[in-house]
Amino acid sequence: MPSQYAAPALVVTGSSSGIGRAVAARAAKDGWSVFGSVRSEQDGADLAREIDGAFTPLVFDVRDQRAIEHAAAQVADALGSRTLGGLVNNAGIGLAGPLLHQPIEEFEAVLDTNLTGTLRVTRAFAPLLGTDPKRRGAKGRVINMSSIAGKVGQPFAGAYVASKHALEGFSEVLRRELALYGIEVIVVAPATVDTAIWQEPESAIGRYATTDYGDAFDKGVRTIVAAARRHGMAAETIGKIVMHALTSRRPRRRYAPAQHPLLEQILPRMTPSRISDFVVEHALGLVDRSRRSSR
């Protein structure tokens, strides 16, 4: 079956907004044929009008196996016998809460979306990337969108941190396993990015007021949201980095962009844990209550 597209093709999950939208827009501008996952037909139609270039919406949730398989079949039909140039696993959620109190179903939803969803999508599109020997063309690349949370644990972001720590290990294993097919796996793990994802934790302010974490939780959420909006990178910057990772002859295994690399990426990982704990705990008021009361 002949391909409908002469340009390299890319699949981006979570393309409705934020980093996913920025990647889709940048790729289309660079001449790629882009397939982007959206949650509704209306989202897809709006995005197709806004993006300047070849954009095809795919309506699926990364937790819906049947919908993912249907989307993979759509892309396969469009590609004909060609390979898919890239898969950007970007879809994710970040529900906040203290680990002792956050509803288990919320914790599970974050893991299911950010980690298991990545596996579902990667499995479905792997034949198009080149595990199917009948496909012609260069092998595609997998870009897994992680975060600084994949290396650093921020209080009250336990579900998100767990999902991104797991994604880092998952990506390392996937990279080594897909070497069998010549498919590269690359992690892009930015520090704070100014996107709509921060609306999720912000909406939870006041939710845990009746617990011991009430004040600390609200303060922590307000602090990180304010920092993201004031100092977060633009999603368009991450879009450029993702496209570099997809097209560079020798891409890095992991990209960790930050507005302030020393403060955001390097120091948090180099500072001894006891010092980091002391700073974070005192900044948020997470100090042993029995010690406070005995003073």
Q: Which two three-digit tokens encode residue 121?
A: 């999508």
CA distances from 270 to 43, 267, 274, 276 (A): 42, 5, 12, 10
- Burial of 127-151, coded b for 16+ CB within 10 Å and e otherwise, reads bbbbbeeebeeebbbbbbbbbbbbb
Residue 140 CA to residue 8 CA, distance in Å, equals 9
The one catalytic residue in 160, 208, 213, 255 is 160
Residue 110 CA to residue 93 CA, distance in Å, equals 6
- Provide the 8-state DSSP code for 127: I
Q: Note whether 63 and 92 are within 8 A (CB).
A: no
- 5 has catalytic annotation: no
The enclosing H or E element of 35 equals strand 33-38
Q: Mind telling me the catalytic residues? A: 160
